[in-house]
Amino acid sequence: MTVTPVLPHLRAGSTPPEPHEVRLGEAPLTVLVGVTGVGKSTAVAALHTGAESCVLPDRREITDAVMIYPLAGGPVHDREERFRLTAQYRADHPGGMAQALGSLLADTRHWTGPLIFDGLRGLDEVQYAARTFPQWRFVALGAPDTVRVRRLLGRADAFDRVSTPELNAADVPRMNLRAALATLPGSAQVFTPAELEELAALEADGHRAADILAKVKIVVSERRSYDPAAAEALLRTLPPRRALVLDTVALSPAEVARAVEAWA
């Protein structure tokens, strides 16, 4: 029997909180907002006070415990399948991750705060969080989709896995890669023809065609569910002390860190 992952010192809020517990939706919380590859780890490091008890389990861990395992009956590693399952969860929980996170009960003997969470994505989650949890603050990080693909290629995260039946050989001629990118469902809605040409040219920089296609599929699949521009636009309507929006291309990692530290 597959055992659902346990979130440390957190539990589902199906029963009233104990005296030593607080519902996360009622707790002061700084939330990172952004899709894969925008540089959230830099902001987490800038917010981190040095106490391990201030950084909550990240989006991936909570997704596994609250969404993936209950729906799939076990672990799912393919990113595109995970997107499908989380979309299924959102059909019944329109607040998505924000709704899931806000409902959890935290043991205040361990989670001493100020608490940090990485992170929320898209308009629906951010809008739900901003309206429902007035004590939450938000740091949104953005980057163009082509930059995100490049960052995914460079970070070598084992989690960035997706099947690529479109390309099976280890080395595929560039024109075949360009054709595969163009026929990838949804790619034309995310990338211009010139951007797809630019992405196909990454093969000349030493990246395998299958790796390029896999990272593009991740970005396209994620954009199918989450619109970062709409989330950022919503956050810009909040008071400055509740929301900080940063461009991680215009700003270096050190500048992002300084901006976050000054705001926090």
- At 44 the pLDDT is 84
- At 166 the pLDDT is 54
Least confident of 31-35, 55-59, 166-170: 166-170
> Could you tell me the two tokens for 263?
């705001």
State the pTM of this model: 0.85
For the chain, domain boundaries = 10-145+225-263, 154-223
Task: Encode pLDDT of 138-182 as tens digits.
Answer: 999 999 999 999 999 987 544 445 555 655 544 455 558 899 999
- CATH 3.40.50 assigned to 10-145+225-263: yes
Whether 65 shows a pLDDT value over 90: the answer reads yes
Tell whether the torsion through CA atoms of 80, 81, 87 and 93 is positive or negative: negative
Rounded-to-integer distance, Cα 174 and Cα 187, Å:
17
Task: Encode pLDDT of 170-217 as tens digits.
Answer: 445 555 889 999 999 999 999 999 999 999 999 999 998 889 999 999
Task: Encode pLDDT of 72-85 as tens digits.
Answer: 999 998 888 998 99
- At 1 the pLDDT is 54
> Could you tell me the two tokens for 26?
């009622």
